[in-house]
Structure 1
Amino acid sequence: MSTHIGAQSGAIAPVVLMPGDPLRARWIAETFLDDARCYTEVRGMYGFTGTWRGRPVSVQGSGMGQPSLAIYAHELFSEYDVQRVIRVGSCGAMTERVAVRDIVIASGACTDSSMNRIRFEGLDYAPVADFGLLRAAYDAAQGAAGDAAVHVGLIYSSDSFYPARPELSARLVDHGVLAVEMEASALYTIAAGFGRQALVVCTVSDHLVTGEQTSALEREQTFGAMVEIALTAGLDG
């Protein structure tokens, strides 16, 4: 039983979907999983295990930001022997090449966080997705994305939702970064350290260029395509 999850041994499946919002975790469990049961409510960060197409899968909230996600990812890998974690979250489009409700599959993650600078003592480690999961998610997206465009590329994991120097992000866009969120870099790094598989699949919830955005309820309950993509990749990839 880990400190922050508190689930019994064997309660969590080898494949875990990880939204930031614990209410989205509950919505995913109630909408997509059969026989879902809650294994944790510690700190209101819900976790559920059920089955999808007859195979076990768990959904675990992570909270916002890399420090929060790092706690849950570390405990999933170290205490519950989880093999695959797929983050299913929202992101903000940083370029007009990407539209609201498009799906971004993150091949790698840039960041302004100091977490990896501390871990690697100043070296610039490049956190990347597991290629098998990435390929499986891209293939799954061809049938599940509907009218939404699917993009594979770099994402930016920012430590600041309200950055003091937002103009700096233009340099990232010039070098191919598609969207911004707050967790991918930590997930990819921690998974690599444990020799496990990780992937980040995000739905674009708002647009930093056009100002378009979705509502909180839409972000919680209407991003089903990315969930189907993640489930297919996680269980069949």
Structure 2
Amino acid sequence: MSTKNTPHINPKGVDIAETILLPGDPRRAKFIAENYLEDVVQFNEVRNMLGFTGTYKGTPVSVMGSGMGMPSIGIYAYELINFFEAKNVIRVGSIGALQKDIDLYEIIVGASASTDSNFLDQYNIPGTYAPTASWKLLKAFVDEAEKQQVKVHVGNVLSSDVFYNDDETVNGRWARMGVLGVEMESAALYAIAARAGVNALGVFTTSDNIITGAKATAEERETSFTQMMELALPLAAL
């Protein structure tokens, strides 16, 4: 039983598993815990950023909301890794596709994460750092997708600081570089994990296609991401 706490996470003695899933929305964390885990105990409610620990097929797994954007996931990922000793941190979220051949609800896996953020400046790297997923988690996720016969798109994603961009040409320019989709967190997660020497992966369900204009409704976003969870949760057994 852990007695640790931070300004943003207070488990009150509940253990946090070495493998943790980080959806942005704390309500989705609650959904995952209630529908996929057994023997669930809530470990966090600070700032209403809900976190839960349970078991998946007998293996301990935690799930916690991480909020939107790199500053938010940067706080939670750093504390989970450096204070609570998380070893496998998996972001499960939504993404806007930047390639025409990616349909709604298809899964994108971020092998790497480009960014327009200054988040990486803190590391004072003498060059351009490329935030990259853990090969261990990436390979395991793709292997699981092949096992379940689920189509996935693997490649570079964009972690952007800007949701409503005043420059309407931005997305097209990233798309021309082969970037699969845009989200707002993974570059920070990958950098924090790399600095600490642990594993991180970002996997996403396509909620809209920015190039074609296709969009899921808010209700569909709440209920259509189950396939992604079923591919991510087996990684806890690694």
Please report the TM-score for the alignment, with normalisation by the length of structure 1.
0.94
For the residues of structure 2 that align with 1:34 and 1:50, how far apart are their CA atoms? 5
Cα deviation code 1:21-59 (max 9, x no counterpart): 100000000110011111111111100000000110000
Answer yes or no: is the 8 Å Cα contact 1:27–1:220 preserved in 2: no
The partner residue of 1:140 within 144, 155, 174 is 144
Answer yes or no: is the 8 Å Cα contact 2:97–2:211 preserved in 1: yes
SS in 2 for 1:20: coil
For the residues of structure 2 that align with 1:66 and 1:91, how far apart are their CA atoms? 15
The partner residue of 2:77 within 73, 87, 99 is 73
The reply to whether residue 150 of structure 1 matches residue 123 of structure 2 is no
Cα deviation code 1:126-179 (max 9, x no counterpart): 000000110000011124464xx3100000001011111131222221221000
Residue of structure 1 equivalent to 2:234: 232
Cα deviation code 1:102-128 (max 9, x no counterpart): 100100000000111343257311000
Deviates more, 1:157-166 or 1:71-80: 157-166
For the residues of structure 2 that align with 1:11 and 1:25, how far apart are their CA atoms? 16
Q: Tell me which amino acid in the other structure corresponds to 2:107.
A: I
For the residues of structure 1 that align with 2:39 and 2:157, how far apart are their CA atoms? 34
For the residues of structure 2 that align with 1:181 and 1:145, how far apart are their CA atoms? 25
Matches within 5 A, 1:53-64: 53-64=57-68
| Count of residue pairs the alignment pairs up | 234
Answer yes or no: is the 8 Å Cα contact 1:106–1:155 preserved in 2: yes
The reply to whether residue 168 of structure 1 matches residue 170 of structure 2 is yes
Q: Tell me which amino acid in the other structure corresponds to 2:155.
A: G
The partner residue of 2:16 within 3, 12, 16 is 12
Residue of structure 2 equivalent to 1:202: 204
**Runs of 5+ unmatched residues, structure 1:** none
Please report the RMSD computed on the Cα atoms of aligned residues, expressed in angstroms: 1.4
Residue of structure 2 equivalent to 1:216: 218
The reply to whether residue 130 of structure 1 matches residue 95 of structure 2 is no
SS in 1 for 2:189: helix
Q: Tell me which amino acid in the other structure corresponds to 2:180.
A: L
Matches within 5 A, 1:180-191: 180-191=182-193
Answer yes or no: is the 8 Å Cα contact 1:27–1:221 preserved in 2: no
Answer yes or no: is the 8 Å Cα contact 2:14–2:43 preserved in 1: no
Indicate the percent of aligned positions where both proteins have the same amino acid.
45
Q: Tell me which amino acid in the other structure corresponds to 2:168.
A: P
Q: After TM superposition, what 4+ stretches of structure 1 lie above 4 angstroms from structure 2?
A: none
The reply to whether residue 28 of structure 1 matches residue 32 of structure 2 is yes
Shift of 1:232: 1.4
SS in 1 for 2:111: strand
For the residues of structure 1 that align with 2:13 and 2:187, how far apart are their CA atoms? 28
Residue of structure 1 equivalent to 2:53: 49
Q: Tell me which amino acid in the other structure corresponds to 2:74.
A: A
Shift of 1:220: 2.5
